[in-house]
Structure 1
């Protein structure tokens, strides 16, 4: 399967072409002409909104005050629409003989411009809502999957940022919030690659979950943790220059049945209820107590089966877990042959197999 970014370079022109064909069916026009114009107008706008085109400019405008952001975004859309239409017109004239001259081919009607701007605004709104809710939550709410509570088995990961309180004391709450925001933003891609879902943020902790089938495939839930750590380590110089510290983490993973349902009225979200979620939270506290960077329940290890050759589980025995009658078998997981795991908190990160 192609990576997400590669797939979007295919999705964006396809959606642009469909938008162009829709315009042709409503206002009239040759399908070839409207489809090509749709590709060259719609695709750049979608790629821009996904951060795949003019990324620095997009990040700069998003950090600006809301009025400045709105004006800059509108100007960017207009420039992309005009330029995209000009490129499409040139191709249509020279490649397909459309219009008597290139200038006429590059002209755009007021209706066409308004349509392109309106569709772009609608697509942007959908993208922003999707980003706010998360892809899985957005899709589930859209189709009403959890409109009625259901029972399902899920894998949960509690990823805790170590030392956040000390960072806030040294740098202030605003700097700490920026630091956590950057960390959680960096978490998005590893979670996406592992086909998981970031379901919530609670203080300095992120809650990630998987369906059992997705999370157990090639130990994706475990690989997500180490993939994230590697991405942080690769940018360690940037983290140090920007924040004065490279983030470190503790991770706890567990699985089990939960009840999943939509809750809320004015602000709806998908919530989980059950012992599995509570136990994962307790394991995160146990990881801190035992000074272990990555802790996994025996229940999850049994479902994962034999771990990939590059991962190793170290049995930590049966441990009492608050809220459970029976002790829980737990293990520490680390990469084979790694002397120190950068970015992972705890003495266990310095062991060597």
Structure 2
């Protein structure tokens, strides 16, 4: 296990969790992929209705690419996040209106470029206009996409994709990394402000962690009370210690809007986190309501470690098993050994550590 000198739980909790450090960026290559997919969609439409391939491809780029970049969170991010938090009817209307605006604007831009740059059509007005068939096609695809994306968000991207392809229709054994991210002090908040206010508070917190988890290429698999269950495949979670960086990124995201949290709720969220990895059986369960569930010691051990973090008053506990899989940590992360600890349900004690960011990472 990679570690530095041992520290006491009190020393481990003295440094606030999640200060500084680099945020994992979106993949720049999607800015290339999106126009290519848009061009392909335009070519398919052009082939079906007999439009010049070049014209169809250009219109596809300027209509399809913005829609995909919007859904990826790379365009109008704040507006997209606001609509995602709204009730489903509001989300549907707002998203469809956004799509229509993008379609009309994208078609106008494409028409202007085609007319002025390549002499397509006799006048700019005709070049910027969209046929009724083309508009109906784009609107129909947009309505279908709105429905699919909402279902995907309600189920979770990974669950939606896995159910769609039937990956877990038959149980399989796989290795995964699990993060139990617990909102500390939620019981006290509920006692002071009431259950309805506490639920609004938790809802806002869980909405705020979605983007950091997405940046770390993790999957929010479930919410249990005031705890979010996040998981990764071994490859994704260990790449540049993404599972560890996710925890710090979550806290930075919350701290960046500290004034808004205090003004709206009168309190800043704080977290306790536990990370562990191991083999689990993953299976699709249920009939009327399907979900993907995990079975195995790895999940139970992560739950026990989250309880141990509370007992030791340590904001982040990582198992030695996971640190061994991570290998040497990046230079801006440092593990501090907390020793061997008995874990309920395991015959042998488990070596645990806490991880913090170094002072160098705080200056970035």
Q: TM-score, normalised to structure 1's length? A: 0.86
**Cα 1:217–1:51, aligned 2, differ >3 Å: closer, same or farther?**
closer
Q: Is contact 1:158-1:205 (8 Å) kept?
A: yes
Give the unaligned 5+ runs of structure 2. 1-23
Per-residue CA deviations over 1:107-161 (Å, capped at 9, x if unaligned) read 2221111101011122222322222222222222222222211111111110100
CA distance in 2, matches of 1:118, 1:130: 18
User: Which has the higher mean CA deviation after the structures are superposed, 285-294 or 32-41?
Assistant: 32-41
Aligned position for 1:201: 223
SS in 1 for 2:281: strand
Per-residue CA deviations over 1:250-275 (Å, capped at 9, x if unaligned) read 01111111101111223222111001
**Cα 1:19–1:265, aligned 2, differ >3 Å: closer, same or farther?**
same
Q: Is contact 2:92-2:146 (8 Å) kept?
A: no
**Cα 1:7–1:167, aligned 2, differ >3 Å: closer, same or farther?**
farther
Aligned position for 2:244: 222
Structure 1 residue 103: deviation in Å? 1.7
CA distance in 2, matches of 1:209, 1:75: 34
Give the unaligned 5+ runs of structure 1. 341-353
Q: Is contact 1:42-1:120 (8 Å) kept?
A: no
Q: TM-score, normalised to structure 2's length? A: 0.84
CA distance in 1, matches of 2:83, 2:174: 41
Aligned position for 1:18: 40
CA distance in 2, matches of 1:7, 1:184: 28
CA distance in 1, matches of 2:129, 2:192: 58
SS in 1 for 2:190: helix
**Residues 4-153 of structure 1: matches in 2 within 5 Å?**
4=26, 6-58=28-80, 70-153=92-175
CA distance in 2, matches of 1:6, 1:173: 42
SS in 2 for 1:287: helix
CA distance in 2, matches of 1:321, 1:114: 60
CA distance in 2, matches of 1:26, 1:34: 11
SS in 1 for 2:338: strand
Aligned position for 2:188: 166
SS in 2 for 1:98: coil
- Larger RCO (alpha carbons 8 Å, 6+ apart): 2
RMSD (Å) for aligned C-alpha atoms: 2.5
